[in-house]
A and B are shown apart, each in its own frame.
Chain A
Amino acid sequence: MASVLIIDDEDKYLELCQRFLPEHDFLPVSRNYAEAANTLRQRAGTVDLVLLDVHFDIPQDDLLPYDKDALLAKGNPERAVERLRRGQGLHILDRLRDSHPDVPVILMTSQDDLPIEADAERLNAQDYTYLLDDDYLDARSLKLQVEAVLARKEKVPGVSDEPFYWGTTPAMLAMRRRLQVLARGRLPIILLGETGTGKSLLAREFVHARSRREGPFVAVDLSTIPAGLMAAHLFGVVKGAYTGATSSRDGVLARANGGTLFLDEIGNLSLDVQKSLLTAMQDGRYCPVGSVEERHADVKLIVATNEDLTAMVAGGTFREDLFMRLNPATAMRLRSLRERKDDFAELVSVFMARVCADPYNHDLLRQYAAPRGLAVPGRGDTMPVGVGRTVPAKIDRGRVFFVIQPSSFNLLREYRWPGNFRQLEMMLSNLVALTLIELVDRAEEVEPEHLGEGARPDVVPILPRTVRDLLRPMEPPTHSAKDPTAAVVESDDGTHRVAVDVQAGESLNAVSCAVERQYLEKLFEKYGGDLGRIAQVLLDEPTAGRKVQLRMNQLGIKLRRLKRRTESAS
């Protein structure tokens, strides 16, 4: 049974679906974007499919975009609003994609009925947005479409066994299919993505493994090699080529012959070396440093970077001919952890299993399990673990189940994870170790009669405090109240000047919220937590403190904590 969310201004789709597709679970209909976003947030990762109407006869205030001033200022306002109603589904789709990039969406209309704003890129570029084919929907064609989309969402057999976690979203599975095709070809592959997104893991475990090449996999992180030694490292060097070249040695190109060469941080390559690499790529010929003797290497080249190579080409720091030779048309960008909120729960499960297999954590698990009557695996076997937000209904003495409270889970999911999967893995490893150490140390207290009523030996709760304590040091530095640059400075004309930390966010809205959050926090500090005074300053309404409080709550500002911080600073 799939969980389906219908976004529609009427109940007609719901009635139709409940009658003709009774095998699925239809959530209450969302009437507008705000309701849909709320439902998807509350049911994070559990909505399998969204059915989205396009035409919404809803009040103007509920229509996206919320700021309509510019739209209404141009031409006939009534017509502008009518256009918004006729194409509202597309606006909703755009906003949903910001927060839920992978949830499959069926747009409940046909090509002919789409407003002209529905550009092809928006509808076709993402293979998780589907459009009905028929002029008029009937339940049978809808059922077929729903089943087809859900079938694509099913896990691809064998994918879960791979070292890289692809997840179940159509976008990631499409990337996997594409990379598999590229792995078999002779052309180079460019992998783009932030640090920790698994570029080198994919190159080694996925591309090389599928390249059908018998030679070795050789990886080089070019950011760690001094510029002067880069050519020698890549192409090799003959004895006496330069001071310090006391012996001849092969470069990575020779070592990877017949296999795969992975050059990480390709943007670090100097222009001279870029030219030599280009020659080697064109016909496989190169000369070691200090030698005129040509060598030949046959390698499958994979390069990775977090830099914008196009911009580097435009700026003259990366050769255009080399860039074109690297096959930029098929460059693949690996998603950051921030962009994988849809399958965050599954990612946590995968990485939890991985960190629990680590010898240190595994030993702790064994120490935890043994006195509590849980099955302890033999040496060399892995202890089965699970993780979730709620306690499983039935006791299972064959595994340990970690429970992360929903609030902690949300904290983890909303964290910005600059180190991506690597950082998540470390975080989970710390959580497991710190939680288990606490419990293992109390092992002598744990006898069956001491477990207490309702206590479950197979369930290990991860305390919210532990999550918060581990996340706190990773938060970006914030100005302390004693820092003069942090305070709100009031000018003679009554305007405020305040320094804020601005970092790239997932959306402009996220950036705006971060700025607003800091401003409100600093006002709170400046006025000693007097919300009335803040309301006076911001709204010229001293009685509107409640409004300010609500806004601060919406922005996720913890007033109690802020108050404590303000009091301790003063």
Chain B
Amino acid sequence: MAALKHDLGKYCAWQSVNLGDEAWTGPVADGLMTALCSDLLATKTGTDGDRSAWELWDLHAAELPRPLDPPELADVEAAVEVLRAAEPALRSRDREAIGAHRNQIRQAQQTIRKALASAHRTLLRRADAGAS
């Protein structure tokens, strides 16, 4: 879970969360496009290439128990699907499509972060309870 929170939660909104509200309304500016592409298409970078947010989720999700536990992970999974749907628009830098979906994307980023932090804390609490 720590790895998922670090790799996906930390970086899925790394640049874009710092943009002001004005970036999320009106014409899609270069700043938003660059930030979203970086955050979602290259969520994790490394010598073996870039990984998108959904690729990271797929990688970790394969090892998660089903049904997902803690249950917040189901919210993460749903939010990741929203991001995955935006992949063609991001890759083609389709400003119109991004503009139409940017608020769903933003919402999905926030959901992923919040749900992963919550799930991580749940597991830490369980570990503490188990240890005591």
Interface residues of A (CB under 8 A from B): 10-12, 15-16, 19-20, 55, 57, 86, 112-113, 135-140
Contacts and interface: CB of A to CB of B under 8 A. Distances in A.
Interface in B108-129: 113, 117, 120-121, 124
A184 to B, nearest CB: 43
30 contacts: A10-B45, A10-B46, A11-B45, A12-B11, A12-B14, A12-B45, A15-B15, A15-B38, A16-B14, A16-B15, A16-B18, A19-B15, A19-B18, A20-B18, A57-B46, A86-B2, A86-B3, A112-B120, A112-B121, A112-B124, A113-B2, A113-B6, A113-B120, A135-B9, A135-B117, A136-B9, A136-B17, A136-B117, A138-B17, A140-B18
A112 B5 CA distance: 11
B10 interface: yes
B73 interface: no
A279 to B, nearest CB: 49
Contacts of B10: 136-137
A112 B119 CA distance: 12
Nearest to B11: A12
A83 B84 CA distance: 30
Interface of B: 2-3, 5-6, 9-11, 13-15, 17-18, 38, 45-46, 113, 117, 120-121, 124
Contacts of B120: 112-113
- The main secondary structure of chain B at its interface with chain A is helix
Contacts of A112: 117, 120-121, 124
A112 B13 CA distance: 19
Contacts of A137: 10
Nearest 3 A/B pairs, CB to CB: A139-B18, A135-B117, A138-B17
Contacts of A16: 14-15, 18
Given A15-B38, A16-B14, A16-B15, 12 more contacts: A10-B45, A11-B45, A12-B11, A55-B6, A86-B3, A112-B120, A113-B5, A135-B113, A136-B10, A136-B13, A137-B10, A138-B18
Contacts of B124: 112
A167 B95 CA distance: 54
A317 to B, nearest CB: 44
A86 B7 CA distance: 11
Contacts of A20: 18
Nearest to A134: B117
A125 B52 CA distance: 39
Contacts of A139: 18
User: Which of A11, A15, A20, A135 gathers the greatest number of chain B CB atoms within 10 Å?
Assistant: A135
A19 B13 CA distance: 15
User: Which of A10, A11, A113, A137 gathers the greatest number of chain B CB atoms within 10 Å?
Assistant: A113
A135 B11 CA distance: 12
Contacts of B3: 86
Given A12-B14, A86-B3, A136 B121 contact: no
